[in-house]
Chains A and B, each alone.
Chain A
Amino acid sequence: MPEDVLTIEMFCRLLQCVFLVGDENLTVVQATVPEWVGRPVEEVLPFLQGMEDILRDLAHRRIPTMHMPHVSADDLPHPLSGYVDVYMSPCSTRQGFIIVIRENAAAAHVIRELTQQRNELALLREQLEAANRRLRELDEERSFLIAMINHDIRAPLATITTGLSYLLEVEKESLSEEHRRILEMSLQAAQNATNLANRILQVERTHHLNQRHKLEPIDLIALLRSVLNQYRDMAEEQNISLFLETTHPEITDFPLIWGNWQSLREAFANLVENAIKYNVPGGEVRIAICPSEQGISVTIQDTGIGIALEDREQIFLPFHRGRRPRTERPGTGLGLYITRQVIKQHQGDIHIESELHKGTTIYIWLPLEPPETAEAKQGTKGSEHVCQDKRPIDWKTFQGYAEGG
């Protein structure tokens, strides 16, 4: 018996496998299963049908050894089943070839599981990449829309507003009552549309806050004072008193927060405007600011009409406006959405408490550290630091502060 066949026979005794030796006519000349001898190879190994040329090439040593792992077939030779490894080699001592088939079901099972997981992960990654691509496309479309609003809508609206204001002012005497009313309605509509366009641009700015805007140390007292000054005339018109208060002993040594001045100012302006707009004549808006070790809490309390319980959950959603009685006031439904976006992007938190016909209180917390650092260092959300301290504040210490004292 040739030496290499002897070696294979020994190998086969150790492992679950079969072997055969075939000649250049593709006839079995030696095999583990004695009944195979003298039969065509493709008859005893039918899964190799169609490979006759390869076997002849092996027999004539025209091609080297071939290894085919993890082969499964319905017609594997008895006693093999499941997955097998197939080794095909030229016979070194005669014109022929040797085929060894080793059962390998256990290893194949593990490899199959791993392959399944790898492929499923790769599919998920593909889906994620496709979703990201779609998001980028949508983002580009949104940017285009915003640019269009900025250029093609705001500019004509400004022209219309200016024109209508001019007519109402210059032609005041000659206008009939009806014509004046129509012009005033048109002007109001144009102003509302301008307001909406401005709000949409604000939303866009908040989406790109961390990318575009530089963060800087901000004196919140100075920022709030500037907001209150902006709304002083509006408050006076509605006979509403504005207060800015703090428990901090030294207003000149107030802790600074890291943020974007413009965005934060817009956020607080939205809240102050709401507190005045939805207030009652003779009412109050009190802004209290209290620093702590990790952040600053701001409370904006009004004595207004309040927000119905069913509206409170949705109040921060875009384009949501309360059903009653806030609908009587003009607005875009974007102010609180913008405010929350800005606060979130500063790693802060905001929540609301309100009682119908008694007033609304907005609680805001902002971290002292730069937003990214604060999140990474604490590994927590800002909501854990919301200042809900409702103890009475020493109001008189800071009366007149809103006026810049």
Chain B
Amino acid sequence: MPYFFKICLIGDFAVGKTSLARRFLYNEYQADYQATIGVNISKKEIHLTDPIPAQVTLVIWDLAGGEPFTPIVEAYYRGAAGALFVADITRPATVEHLSQYIEEFRLVNPDAEAVVLLNKVDLLSAHAVEAFDQETLREKLGTPIFLTSARTGYNVENAFLSLARRLLEKTNHA
């Protein structure tokens, strides 16, 4: 049985949402920053074996970053089964804003799944990554956290697949 899930990429501007989407969709990376307006919608079909064998189509809504929560943004969020909340690990303010994005998203989709991606991890030293307090952030946000790098591809697929598995599991339980 095929599954379709609308998922959103949400976060501040220039945190790498579009780069993450492109890495996941086409396994490519573009270094130049190109601002997104409105929403870019793309699809990717994946085959999961866990929790059940299934063909899943992720309809990925890559939203413009840093927009205030208006009825238009609410319209973009509507119908999403889950979201990837993205922050730039080198810009603390973008991490701080995550809780607000999650809260606004849950106002529209109370039961949606969420995962957090701390992107651009390649720009930090191994020591700085180790020193980053993931546990406290995880407790605060109540979501799984993935350290990712759209540039190197590190952990990008894992993050998307993790969300897809959670959505599939939830749908099956329902």
Q: Are B43 and A120 in contact (CB under 8 A)?
A: no
Closest to B60 in A: A50
B127 near A: Cβ within 8 Å?
A: no
- Given known pairs A47-B59, A123-B14, the reply for A71 and B41 (CB within 8 Å) is yes
Q: Are A126 and B91 in contact (CB under 8 A)?
A: yes
- Given known pairs A47-B59, A69-B38, A74-B42, the reply for A53 and B79 (CB within 8 Å) is yes
Q: Which of A71, A116, A119 has the most CB of B within 10 A?
A: A119
Q: Are B79 and A54 in contact (CB under 8 A)?
A: yes
CA distance A116 to B34 in the complex (A): 7
A66 near B: Cβ within 8 Å?
A: yes
Contact of B43 among A46, A118, A122 (CB under 8 A): A46
Q: Are B43 and A69 in contact (CB under 8 A)?
A: no
- Given known pairs A122-B13, A123-B14, the reply for A68 and B5 (CB within 8 Å) is no
6 sample A-B contacts, Cβ–Cβ < 8 Å, listed by A number: A47-B43, A49-B59, A50-B6, A72-B39, A74-B42, A115-B35
Q: Which of A108, A115, A118, A126 has the most CB of B within 10 A?
A: A115
A residues in contact with B71, CB < 8 Å? 67
Q: Which chain A residues have a beta carbon within 8 Å of chain B's beta carbons?
A: 42, 46-47, 49-54, 63, 66-75, 83, 108, 111-112, 115-116, 118-120, 122-123, 126
A residues in contact with B142, CB < 8 Å? none
Contact of A50 among B64, B72, B75, B81 (CB under 8 A): B81
A residues in contact with B4, CB < 8 Å? 42, 49-50, 52
Task: State how many residues of chain B have any CB contact under 8 Å with chain A.
Answer: 31
Q: Are B81 and A119 in contact (CB under 8 A)?
A: no
Top 9 A-B residue pairs of the complex, sorted by shortest distance between their CB atoms: A70-B38, A50-B6, A73-B41, A116-B35, A54-B79, A50-B59, A66-B75, A115-B35, A51-B79
Query: Which residues between 76 and 125 of chain B lie within 8 Å of chain A, taking CB atoms?
Result: 76, 78-81, 91, 93
Q: A50-B59, A83-B38 are in contact. List 6 more A-B contacts (CB 8 A).
A: A68-B38, A70-B38, A73-B40, A73-B41, A119-B14, A120-B33
B residues in contact with A71, CB < 8 Å? 38-39, 41
**How close is B99's CB to chain A, nearest CB, in angstroms?**
19
Q: Are B5 and A70 in contact (CB under 8 A)?
A: no
Q: Are A112 and B72 in contact (CB under 8 A)?
A: no
Q: Are A70 and B39 in contact (CB under 8 A)?
A: yes
Closest to B94 in A: A126
CA distance A283 to B42 in the complex (A): 85
**How close is A107's CB to chain B, nearest CB, in angstroms?**
10
A residues in contact with B34, CB < 8 Å? 116
**How close is B11's CB to chain A, nearest CB, in angstroms?**
13
Closest to B64 in A: A115
B66 near A: Cβ within 8 Å?
A: yes
Q: Are B6 and A69 in contact (CB under 8 A)?
A: no
Closest to A113 in B: B35
Q: Are B40 and A54 in contact (CB under 8 A)?
A: no
Interface string of B1-44 (1 = CB under 8 A from A): 00011100000011000000000000000000111111111110
- Given known pairs A49-B59, A69-B38, A70-B39, the reply for A119 and B66 (CB within 8 Å) is yes
CA distance A119 to B81 in the complex (A): 29
B134 near A: Cβ within 8 Å?
A: no
CA distance A74 to B13 in the complex (A): 22
Interface string of B31-75 (1 = CB under 8 A from A): 001111111111100000000000001010000111000011001
Closest to B91 in A: A126
B residues in contact with A68, CB < 8 Å? 38-39, 72, 75-76
- Given known pairs A67-B72, A115-B35, the reply for A49 and B79 (CB within 8 Å) is no
B residues in contact with A50, CB < 8 Å? 4-6, 57, 59, 79-81
**How close is A100's CB to chain B, nearest CB, in angstroms?**
14
CA distance A70 to B5 in the complex (A): 21
**How close is B109's CB to chain A, nearest CB, in angstroms?**
10
Closest to B39 in A: A71
CA distance A74 to B60 in the complex (A): 12
A residues in contact with B37, CB < 8 Å? 70, 83, 108, 111-112, 115
Closest to A86 in B: B75
A residues in contact with B76, CB < 8 Å? 68
Contact of A66 among B40, B64, B78 (CB under 8 A): B78
CA distance A51 to B8 in the complex (A): 12
CA distance A123 to B39 in the complex (A): 21
- Given known pairs A54-B79, A68-B75, A115-B35, the reply for A47 and B14 (CB within 8 Å) is no
- Given known pairs A68-B39, A69-B38, the reply for A49 and B6 (CB within 8 Å) is yes
Closest to A123 in B: B14
**How close is A378's CB to chain B, nearest CB, in angstroms?**
41
CA distance A53 to B174 in the complex (A): 15
CA distance A75 to B44 in the complex (A): 12
**How close is B92's CB to chain A, nearest CB, in angstroms?**
9
CA distance A66 to B78 in the complex (A): 10
CA distance A327 to B54 in the complex (A): 82
B residues in contact with A51, CB < 8 Å? 6, 78-79
CA distance A75 to B59 in the complex (A): 12
**How close is B1's CB to chain A, nearest CB, in angstroms?**
15
A residues in contact with B41, CB < 8 Å? 47, 71-74
Q: Are B66 and A49 in contact (CB under 8 A)?
A: no
CA distance A289 to B141 in the complex (A): 71
